[in-house]
Structure 1
Amino acid sequence: MTTNPSWDPAQYLRHAGHRARPFADLLARVPDLPREPPRIADLGCGPGNLTAVLADRWPAGRITGYDNSPQMLADAAAHAGPHLDFAHADLADWTPAETYDLLVSNAALHWVPGHLDALAGWLDGLAPGGTLAFQVPHNTDAPLHALMRDLAGSARWKSRLDRVLRHEDSVHAPGAYLDRLARLGCSTDVWTTTYLHVLQGEDPVLDWVKGTGLRPALDALADDPEARDAFVAEYRDLLREAYPSAAYGTVLPFRRLFAVATKGG
């Protein structure tokens, strides 16, 4: 599985409103933080637009957004301010170098193999009473991903795309996160929500996934534009059948998993 695909911030932000809603729902469950002003890290900050939301909620806080994509960090720099900065880090081996009051991650951990085992080390970097809050897509069984994987594993594409894409094991069951965080001594709230995003425009589901899950396939075929376009066209046709359009738009059901864990102490 490709864990560090190239990113196109402009493509990702084409659906910024829909992508921002789960982050707002996650922050709504974050309790009061143990210190004022708080120290906060955004793990996998992307283009920084949602990291800026953290600065709006905790204007006196010292906030750092971490990401391993140069393209995303270049866009994020526009949001930097006196208490908000951005830095390169790979979540596959990132560990807190100081004490934080809040570690938040929005739609990033599914790109990090072994992230369940990383939680203990991250919690070690939290102040007593601090919170780890994250959300990840929980829909690898949805047509959006299943059709992509099936196509990549077909006779035409298997030699170039087999095991390139994220698979079902990129996100664990909700109970696995609850059990791990509770055993680590946290007061933990885990839940799932399915959003019914109503998308507009031509082939909007394809446009959505071009900013996220399709990136590894696009990278793998980048040296062969003809093949890349052929794969995208085949996938587009499958998506049109799986997600038919209506007069008001195209509905994309999208399930997400949330966890808010507050460290005992």
Structure 2
Amino acid sequence: MSHSSAILRTDHGAAPVNDWNSDLYLKFENERTRAARDLLARIPSFEPKVVFDLGCGPGNSTELLATTFPGASVVGIDNSENMLAVARDRAVAATFLKQDIESWRPAQEVDLIFANAALHFLPDHPGLLTRLSSYLRPGGRLAVQMPDIVHELSHAAMRMVAADGPWASRLVPIAKSSVVIGPPQEYYNLLTPLCRELDIWRTIYIHPLDGPQGVVDWFEGSALRPFLDLLSPDERADFLSRYREKLAEAYPRQPNGKVLLRYPRLFFVLQK
């Protein structure tokens, strides 16, 4: 299947990974929540009664939704027990359910479906987004943000290290299963028949981090997980050492010692 017709590519033959580590994920909480705030800010003003936060993680986005829409029933959906435990303590005004997004079906029509950095893990975006849109009441909104970083230097370095080491036979299939997000016009053409209004945009964030180790810390709680979960402790240390070396080459230090991590994200808000 070509990239243009697929929109997103994954490989379900990849080995399953361990549960998410909320501590690692929240180490960069402000930076990660910024995209959720930017997505929320572009939702036209309305008063939803039923809001679902798909892939809610540790509840940082759910907390934003509950605060912004105090009159709504806000429900967070995630498949990680670790993340949901943190979310329940954090966003006490919301309800949380353990469920996969692919199998999620609401009992009634929904006013707002919010998915911040979650849908890029799932295949078949034409089918997925058509299905999610069908759950909206007339006038309801679907708001989505997806990292679009596979082609950035940070991820190219992961793939190079995965292919150049004693672990290659285990990690190359993971590297080849990297998610690929299509260009904005593909989503525009997919979504416009499903809605009355569509706002779609792409933002490149620049995150100053504390050297190559800062980049490692950022991805150790997310994109590095599928690689590291297949390695022994000694192999993990070796892998990360090699990855830091690649990052030092890819990200020159600025005069203040920081390195600048480019992080593109694709956004859209549709109104049914």
* Alignment check: 8 A CA contact 1:110 1:136 kept: yes
* Alignment check: 8 A CA contact 2:211 2:253 kept: no
2:259 maps to which of 247, 250, 257: 250
Alignment of 1:34-45 (within 5 A): 36=47, 38-45=49-56
**Could you tell which deviates more after superposition, 55-64 or 72-81?**
72-81
Q: Distance in 1 between matches of 2:120 and 2:16?
A: 11
Q: Distance in 2 between matches of 1:172 and 1:113?
A: 12
Q: Distance in 2 between matches of 1:194 and 1:166?
A: 24
Q: Which amino acid in 2 is paired with 1:216?
A: P
In structure 2, the residue corresponding to 1:163 is in which secondary structure? helix
Q: Which amino acid in 1 is paired with 2:121?
A: W
In structure 2, the residue corresponding to 1:170 is in which secondary structure? coil
Cα deviations by residue, 1:101-126 (Å, 9 ceiling, x for unpaired):
00011111111122332111111111
1:206 maps to which of 216, 219, 223: 216
- Report percent identity of matched pairs: 40
2:227 maps to 217
2:3 maps to none
- Compute the TM-score of the two structures, normalised by the length of structure 1: 0.91
Cα deviations by residue, 1:144-203 (Å, 9 ceiling, x for unpaired):
111111221235332111222474543222111111111223411111011111123661
Over aligned residue pairs, what C-alpha RMSD do you find? 1.9
**Could you tell which deviates more after superposition, 168-177 or 111-120?**
168-177
Cα deviations by residue, 1:198-220 (Å, 9 ceiling, x for unpaired):
12366101110111100111111
Aligned residue pairs, count? 258
* Alignment check: 8 A CA contact 2:148 2:180 kept: no
In structure 1, the residue corresponding to 2:92 is in which secondary structure? coil
2:36 maps to 23
In structure 1, the residue corresponding to 2:52 is in which secondary structure? strand
Q: Distance in 2 between matches of 1:17 and 1:165?
A: 28
Q: Which runs of 5+ in 2 are unaligned?
A: 1-10
In structure 2, the residue corresponding to 1:128 is in which secondary structure? strand
**Could you tell which deviates more after superposition, 23-32 or 40-49?**
23-32
Q: Distance in 2 between matches of 1:135 and 1:55?
A: 18
1:73 maps to 84
- Distance verdict in 2 for CA 1:21–1:3, change over 3 Å: farther
* Alignment check: 8 A CA contact 1:203 1:236 kept: yes
* Alignment check: 8 A CA contact 1:197 1:252 kept: yes
- Distance verdict in 2 for CA 1:238–1:201, change over 3 Å: closer
- Distance verdict in 2 for CA 1:172–1:208, change over 3 Å: same
Cα deviations by residue, 1:124-152 (Å, 9 ceiling, x for unpaired):
11110000001011121001111111221
* Alignment check: 8 A CA contact 1:80 1:86 kept: no
